[in-house]
Homo-oligomer: A and B are copies of this chain.
């Protein structure tokens, strides 16, 4: 089933009660259109949302530290306890050191939650894949928030990422992101070999978020 991950970032339209409202729309879409939607709200919103919806709720970031003296860190254990089923790691707006990406993946694995490592090109996608997260999501930074879909602007980065991951760690799924908004963008992304997409502003800043999602999921493989 096509995987659609909606990164709520810290937009006003996806914070607090707005986050809950948007997550409910995503749950509707997930059920009505047979796609697997994942919502990634801010950490402070995870508890309420994970109680309210049945689709998986991911964090946007997790630190690779465990129980102990780690003030201000986001632990996999606390995410799990709050109902999260996974986390983005190393998003371009929250880059991590290589050793910390590895530690975050390990911490999530131990807590029993999934991981999506974000990357910026084929080389870092290969690197991330060798760490064996559940997914890598390749997003050329210059296209993030641009409205220009990576699947059109730079199909090669997706194709080569898929090839590299297949060679290095074939169990890792490849998502692509950056500029994805419409059904045709999603369709193109899937045709390039990705198993789904990571998206944000195209949906969250849309006048009608539900309609934007309905447009998007028309791109799902039949």
Contacts and interface: CB of A to CB of B under 8 A. Distances in A.
A36 to B, nearest CB: 21
A219 to B, nearest CB: 23
Nearest to A47: B47
Nearest to A100: B95
A176 to B, nearest CB: 16
A79 B10 CA distance: 11
Contact of A81 (B44, B97, B129): B44
A146 to B, nearest CB: 11
Interface string A129-173: 111100000000000110000000000000000001000100000
B11 A82 contact: no
Given A90-B98, A97-B97, A130-B127, A71 B78 contact: no
A73 B98 contact: no
Complex copy number for this chain: 4
A91 B71 contact: yes
B71 A145 contact: no
Interface in A52-107: 59-61, 65-75, 77-79, 81-82, 84, 88, 90-102
Interface of A: 7, 9-12, 15-17, 42-48, 59-61, 65-75, 77-79, 81-82, 84, 88, 90-102, 119-121, 123-124, 126-132, 144-145, 164, 168, 200-201
18 contacts: A9-B68, A9-B69, A11-B67, A11-B69, A43-B43, A43-B74, A44-B79, A44-B82, A45-B78, A73-B94, A95-B97, A98-B101, A99-B119, A99-B120, A101-B127, A102-B124, A130-B130, A168-B168
